[in-house]
Each structure stands twice: as structure tokens, then as C-alpha cells.
Amino acid sequence: DDSLAQVLEALAADVARSAGRLVVDERPDAVEVASTKSSATDVVTVMDQRSQDHLLARLRESRPDDAVLGEESGGATGTSGITWVIDPIDGTVNYLYGIPAYAVSVAAVVGDPTTHGAWRPFAGAVYNPVTDELYRARAGAGSRVVRPGGEERSLTPTGCSDVGQALVATGFGYAAERRERQAHLLLDLLPQVRDIRRIGSAALDLCAVGAGLVDAYYETGLNPWDLAAGWLVAAEAGAVVGGLDGPGQDLTSACAPGLAPAFPDLVEEGTRRHLRG
Ligand code: IPD
């Protein structure tokens, strides 16, 4: 119900903001890489771990019966049916280099976020601690951005309906084999659009579609924590959000309403050709 969603949206916003302040205020001059994951360039910094610990502690304190699924190792299992899907720093490579495009992403979801297509986000927040912009949304209630000073605005995607005029964001995974396939898809798309942006944070890419900063975004191979909150922000802003198999963790694209169905068709056809063999 909406009163629960309101409470969870407020909590998501609060914890995303406090973890974000931590990662930016305590960012060391030389950020230390703690470990690597899927490849040598897929890094976890000491601050990813600290941010995740902070989020886990705050969520457990407020909602002890909820489960938590975090990027940097699991979390609690719960009994409430609600799972928090958290990315302590989305855009870790930007964070490592000091490029000001990274975010803390926090979403409350129903269903099992580890099972493809079996879950949906219903409240969430994405916080960029460098620009101090907080994107927040809950199902059925639209999405907003809160700017420094507290000014709050609702989000609206662009009205772009022409693929040839579209500014399109995308991202790449870390594994070389996936990247090679993603490069082929990019090769198809780049000559057909206005231009491409690789911002470096899937959560911020999705918020950018909602806010009308780009016309569209696509990526394959994302994990639930990369997309849960941003997906809700984009969808609640009125963007068309989808995956190859409908809603679920395999998000393929988000775009201005006018670009649907041309853009999803274009991306999904290319995705099938290049990424699914
Ligand atoms: C990554 C970022 C990036 C996207 C990758 C993600 P991380 O998340 O969102 O933009 O292209 O697919 O893995 O590793 O920075 O949390």
C-alpha cells in the first residue's frame, strides 16, 4: 500500500544520502582497491565495503525483518517479503579516478531479486553525492529529483521520437567476451543516432532518461543492484523501460516514450543478434 511505500521511499532516500556523504566526505586521495571480481578491472574499493556496511547497519536497524541483497556480498534474509537491493557505489571506476559520476542506489523490491523476471522495485533512491542530487520514486507516485538546497522537481523524459536525433547512453560489463559483443552492438547503433554517452553508472544513466538528460539508455548483463532503483525512477518519470523478456533483471533499454517501440526494437534486435548468438 502507498503508506508503506512512502515510508520505504523515505528510508531509501535517507540511507542513500548518508552512505553517499560517507563515500564523498571520506574519499581518500588514493582510493584503495580491496579486491577484484569478474575481471582484473572489476574492482571493489575499501569505500564500497564501508558504504555497504553502513547501508546494511542502517537498514537492519530500521527494518530487521527485511532481506538485503548488496553488490559487495549478500546480506540478511528476511521474513517480511521485502528485499532491499543496494549498490554501495554504482560507478566504482569513476569513483576510483575521481570522475564525479557515481551514486549510491537503494531500492525496496517485492519478489526474489535473484530470479530473473520474478521481482519488481516499488520504492527507491539514487544519490549522487558529488552533485548532491537525490532521485527518488515509488510505484504509482511519479519520481522526483531533490537538488542542493532542497528544491524538488518532478522528472519528465524528453519527447524525442526520432532515433536519428536521439542521444543514447550505454554501458559495458567488465568481462572481455561480453564487451566484444557489446562493441558489435554499438557498431550497429552509433551510425544511426545523434551520439552515444558512456556515463559510467547504470543507476545515473536510468535517472538521466527519467530527467530528460539523455533520450535513451541500453545495456545488457546488468545486475539487480545496478538497476533496481534507477529503473523505478525512469519508469515512474514516464520512460519506457524493458528487458528482452519483460521486466526483470535483464534490463535492455529505457527510453523517452516517443522512441518506443522503434528504439527497443532496434536494441533488442541487435542484442539478440550480437549478445545471444
Ligand atoms: C557498473 C556501472 C557501469 C555499468 C556496469 C556496472 P559498478 O557498476 O553501473 O556503468 O556499465 O555494467 O557493472 O561496478 O560501478 O557498481
Region of residue 42 (phi > 0: left; psi between -120 and 50: alpha; otherwise: beta)? beta
- Using the 8-state DSSP alphabet, how is residue 160 labeled? -
Domains of the chain, each with CATH number or no CATH: 2-154 (3.30.540.10), 163-275 (3.40.190.80)
pLDDT of residue 178: 86
Q: Given a cut of 90, is residue 40 above it in pLDDT?
A: no
pLDDT of residue 75: 62
Minimum mean pLDDT range among 13-17, 18-22, 24-28, 116-120: 116-120
If you measure from the C-alpha of residue 89 to the centroid of ligand 1, how many angstroms do you get, rounded to a whole number? Answer: 9
Evaluate the CA torsion angle 262, 265, 267, 273 in order and state its sign. negative
DSSP string, 42-85: SEEEHHHHHHHHHHHHHHHHH-TTSEEEESSS-----SSSEEEE
**Ligand 1 touching residue 222 (CB < 6 A):** yes
Please, are residues 14 and 127 in contact by the beta-carbon 8 Å criterion? no
pLDDT of residue 248: 53
Cell for 215? 533520450
pLDDT per residue as tens digits for the range 132-185: 999 999 999 999 999 999 999 999 999 999 999 999 999 999 989 889 989 999
**Ligand 1 touching residue 226 (CB < 6 A):** yes
Could you tell me how many residues make up the chain?
277
Mutate to test the pocket of ligand 1, among 201, 205, 207, 249 (most ligand atoms within 8 A of CB): 201
* Ligand 1 atom closest to 87 (CA): 16
**Ligand 1 touching residue 48 (CB < 6 A):** no
Could you give the CA distance from residue 62 to residue 11 in angstroms, rounded to a whole number? Answer: 8
pLDDT per residue as tens digits for the range 187-236: 999 999 999 999 999 999 999 999 999 999 999 889 999 999 999 999 99
The average confidence (pLDDT) of the chain is 91
Mutate to test the pocket of ligand 1, among 222, 231, 252 (most ligand atoms within 8 A of CB): 222
pLDDT of residue 221: 87
Percent of the chain with pLDDT over 70: 95
pLDDT of residue 73: 66
Shortest-distance Cα residue to atom 16 of ligand 1: 90
If you measure from the C-alpha of residue 55 to the centroid of ligand 1, how many angstroms do you get, rounded to a whole number? Answer: 19
pLDDT of residue 68: 95
Percent of the chain with pLDDT over 90: 69
Could you give the CA distance from residue 213 to residue 13 in angstroms, rounded to a whole number? Answer: 21
Could you give the CA distance from residue 210 to residue 194 in angstroms, rounded to a whole number? Answer: 19
Please, are residues 211 and 237 in contact by the beta-carbon 8 Å criterion? yes
Please, are residues 11 and 60 in contact by the beta-carbon 8 Å criterion? no
**Ligand 1 touching residue 158 (CB < 6 A):** no
**Ligand 1 touching residue 173 (CB < 6 A):** yes
